[in-house]
Structure 1
């Protein structure tokens, strides 16, 4: 009898602990976004299952089952567009094409500009080129001497205009020319840079790195080192560089599971942070305020018109402030990734814009004055890379090129230049200026009957499509034909420098409207009631399954 009591007691305890574990796991799962983006392991699995297929010429123009008259209209418009683009910059196009077999980035970006079933036929007839020789104001000039309006922003480097950065580089090189590329010793300018970065970040110490990704790597490493905890929390859709440790979904080959991808702006997420004991840090990319829980938009994923974005400053500020408070209560390190937003949203970046103080902050892009750099600012106790009472227990991070003299002097020129009265004054009206400009653009597009609108977070814009379509990705090429230069992700993100005048922005509006009117005229935005976003997704799946079946039949026939 006593043995039986022991058995049932043990069974009850095991059941209790099992239920606790299941309940904890369920709570964590509910804090994740229900989409594949919120479940990194499933995202990787599904990505491996997605088969490749390609539309032939006929399907390329009729994948939405448009009537023959519309298909012919598209064919005619496509031919005119491809010929026009080819005429604009033949030297640049040829030069860029010559790089494809030797520069892996060129091959990758060429293939991932549009949804993959369309890329083969498109690539045979339209060959985009990104070869430029000169910048001036808001314009870039290519090998053929053709100028275009730059909306790529050099991936975020260009906040104040290229002429501003050329000035920083010139001053920086002049100040370091007597030293040259001496590594190890510091140039004296480092002290001024450090003091200014401490003032801007509101933190105690600074370390320098070669890129934003590297700065984020060091921030995460230090957070784990000092807390002794394993897990990092990032938010669904957020991008923090190419490192696998903060990119746990598609593109990640790591087997280690040490990242939780949770919902942005969710009470369930706050509950997880309040109750779990294994979380070292929370990593925030403030750009997510424009599209919470969604990936950075890319035309390669533009299979229908479900792309969403809307910025609510009050709501996102409240969320970040709640997050800060929970992290403080639980001794979780709050890291702001300001590689993109630093100096763009305000002089003190997103911290100043949203009135939140982080424990660690990373900067990059623009702060190098035009040169590559990563910066980490943090509290004294978190930046220390060793334990006083354990001399062999260190968190080593250096990097050969950190504090390169030319980077430091160009950074010094940048940090001095942004203190100018006109720049500081512009920050006070920056948000309103860009909100007004986007409103003007949306009004003009609407009046022209173009099914496009834009959303923005200050000078960061994204294009949204207001009616179901399989061909929204074509808009990037009509914009290019109008002299609008975008990055390889197309209309997903437009990064505009703050030196755009009202007149220059009015010209951008004019070109956006012109591109939209021509695209509509060529039949790409043909519409009927049966063409819904749901129908488009189902048709995409049907085409995928059909292509797989066809390949199997061919394989069987060859046996």
Structure 2
């Protein structure tokens, strides 16, 4: 299994040529891609399969994968435990609706066991749904409309999340930038924005809007930015003081920073938390976890009552995603799993920083635990504005150089180490970075 640059003439492994698939994409998909990401035409590839830490394109080339399903594939692609669980369950029914199923119940039991804030949970289909529903529950519970989020934070694609996702400059806090057309004017005024790791600005905004604020939503780790000591605890204290619901967006950090996610890692318990990705083993499943008094507002027996929060979805509690999630969490529960994962990540970061330093490239391999990203900044960023101050053009050129050399990443975004990554992966990644640095000039 050799990576793309070593075997550029690999034999195709799909029924059609890669060019045929590109033609289909151009005809049927806006921009010829999936969602909000697009690679340059000369670097695009079509994935045929994933195995362990690598993905294979339809033209036969292998790439070392650090996209990892946007963080969902913490145990790699096609892990035997997950494949076995899904295969067995497939013969027993792919999907039900509304009626309880055993797999979803067993997963709910496991989630409540591990998530510190989880007295109860409600299932969702995606992480975007999970943040959207968490905000709805907070509004229903408080009778207030506004939510405070942090500049550059990604909470999904719904209207309440699509504000200050991709800022070009510091906001006029608490007014954020709107990142999509089609957003009602009424929505824009309900989302306030503050810089991450800045409690003073949060205090100022809350002092002015406390009677209107339903929730503060925060990622325990925002993109590649880790919280400064006291930041999350400070948010907890502010919310307690003003009767505001504290929401952790753990769609990425949940089960990746440990079985207790960001809550366990940093010792701060929110009122509600949103999950996705790992909880469904990469399948279509997420959840909102939290205090029973908040989650009970979703009880269908309360329909018609003031403060009832309606939550429903066709795929909520899907049995295939549930058994995939159970199998994945079972692997994560093995002794030393996260310690080994974090050690691997540090090994990779060390190798990559050595390459950058040797080549005289003024960049850092940022991140901790199983997150990494190469930034053209002098130090680890404390907020989104620090990242914006870096050399984004050179960062993109370097990222594209890595893709050209067989490393599967998305330019300008964080990357994920999986438990199945090997020393060979890391050596080849360092080799690819060396070539990309040389080409950078």
Category of TM-score, reference length = shorter chain: 0.7 to 0.9
| Residue 343 (1) aligns with residue 273 (2) | no
Question: 2:145 — aligned with what?
Answer: 230
Task: Name the structure 2 match of 1:212.
Answer: 127
Whether 1:402 aligns to 2:316 is yes
The answer to whether the 8 Å contact 1:343/1:349 transfers is: yes
Task: Decide which of 175, 180, 197 is 1:251's aligned counterpart.
Answer: 180
Task: Give the 5 Å matches for 1:64-83.
Answer: none
Distance 1:210 1:469 in 2: 34
TM-superposed deviation, 1:264: 1.9
Q: 1: CA distance between counterparts of 2:261 and 2:286?
A: 15
* CA positional deviation for 1:105: 5.6
Shift of 1:446: 1.4
The corresponding residue for 2:170 is none
Q: Relative to total residues, which structure has the larger helix share, 1 or 2?
A: 1
Alignment CA distance shift 1:418-1:258 (3 Å) = same
Separation (CA, whole Å) in 1 of partners of 2:391 and 2:326: 49
Gaps of 5+ in 2: 164-177, 378-389
2:56 corresponding residue in structure 1 = 141
2:32 to 94, 106, 114: 106
Q: Distance in 1 between matches of 2:396 and 2:11?
A: 21
Structure 2 SS opposite 1:402: coil
1:448 counterpart = 2:367: no
Superposed displacement of residue 468, structure 1: 5.8
How far residue 260 of structure 1 moved from its aligned partner, in angstroms, is 0.6
Equivalent residues of 2:340, 2:419 under 8 A apart: no
In 2, Cα distance between equivalents of 1:168 and 1:470: 39
The Cα offsets for residues 502-523 of structure 1, whole Å up to 9 and x where unpaired, read as 3321221111112221x13xxx
Please tell me whether residue 286 in structure 1 is matched to residue 220 in structure 2: yes
Give the aligned partner of residue 199 of structure 1.
Answer: 113
**CA distance 1:430–1:246, change in 2 (3 Å):** same
Q: Distance in 2 between matches of 1:171 and 1:483?
A: 31
Q: In 2 relative to 1, CA 448–336 (structure 1 residues): closer, same or farther, beyond 3 Å? A: same
Q: Is the 8 A contact 1:460 1:495 kept in 2?
A: yes
Q: Which residue of 2 aligns with 1:363?
A: 275
Asked if 2 retains the 8 angstrom alpha-carbon contact of 1:140 and 1:150, the reply is yes
Q: How does 1:146-161 map to 2 (within 5 A)?
A: 146-161=61-76
Q: Where does 1:534-553 land on structure 2 (aligned, <5 Å)?
A: none
Mapped pair 1:506 → 2:430:
no
Q: Equivalent residue for 1:44?
A: none
Match of 1:481 in 2: 404
Is the 1:231–1:260 contact (alpha carbons within 8 Å) kept by the matching residues of 2?
yes
Aligned in 2, Cα 1:93/1:449: closer, same or farther, shift over 3 Å? farther
Aligned to 1:162, what secondary structure does the other structure show?
A: coil
User: Match for residue 493 of structure 1?
Assistant: 414
Question: Residue 181 of structure 1 corresponds to which residue in structure 2?
Answer: 95
Task: Determine helix, strand or coil for the equivalent of 2:50.
Answer: strand
Task: State the alpha-carbon separation in 2 of the partners of residues 223 and 346 from structure 1.
Answer: 26
Whichever of the two has the greater Rg, that structure is: 1
Give the one of 325, 340, 349 matched to 1:438: 349
Cα drift, residue 470 of structure 1: 4.7
> 1:88–1:146: 8 Å Cα contact kept in structure 2?
yes
Counterpart-to-counterpart distance in 1, 2:37 and 2:207? 43
* Cα distance change on mapping 1:251 and 1:181 into 2, 3 Å: same
**Native 8 Å contact 2:43 2:404 kept in 1:** no
Query: For the Cα contact (< 8 Å) 2:282–2:324, is it kept in 1?
Result: yes
Instruction: Indicate the residue corresponding to 1:264 in structure 2.
Output: 196
| 1:433–1:138 Cα change, 3 Å | closer
Q: 2:387 corresponds to which residue?
A: none
CA distance in 1 between partners of 2:162 and 2:392 (Å): 30
1:221 to 94, 114, 136: 136
Q: How does 1:421-436 map to 2 (within 5 A)?
A: 421=335, 425-428=336-339, 430-436=341-347
Q: Is the Cα–Cα contact under 8 Å of residues 101 and 107 in structure 1 kept in the other structure?
A: no
In 2: Cα distance, 1:504 partner to 1:250 partner: 36
Give the number of equivalent residue pairs: 399
Q: What is the CA distance between 1:230 and its match in structure 2?
A: 1.0
Aligned equivalents of 1:273 and 1:469: distance in 2? 33
C-alpha distance after superposition, 1:320-361 (max 9, x if no partner): 011112212222111011111111111111111111101111
Whole-Å Cα distance in 1 between the matches of residues 273 and 42 of structure 2? 40
Determine if contact 2:114/2:260 at 8 Å carries over to the other structure.
Answer: yes
Contact 1:335 1:359 in 2 (8 A): yes
| Structure 1 position 87, deviation (Å) | 6.7
- What's 2:437 paired with? 516
Unaligned runs of 5+ in 1: 1-82, 114-122, 292-310, 526-559
What SS class does the counterpart of residue 280 from structure 1 fall into? strand
How far does the alpha carbon of each residue in 1:244-268 deviate from its partner, in whole angstroms, 9 at most, with x for none? 1122221152211211111222213
Deviations 1:474-498 (A, max 9, x none): 32332222111123xx143222223
Q: Name the residue aligned to 1:305.
A: none
Does the CA-based 8 Å contact 2:398-2:437 persist in structure 1? yes
Q: Distance in 2 between matches of 1:238 and 1:279?
A: 18
- Residue 412 of structure 2 is aligned to residue 462 of structure 1: no
2:330 to 404, 410, 416: 416
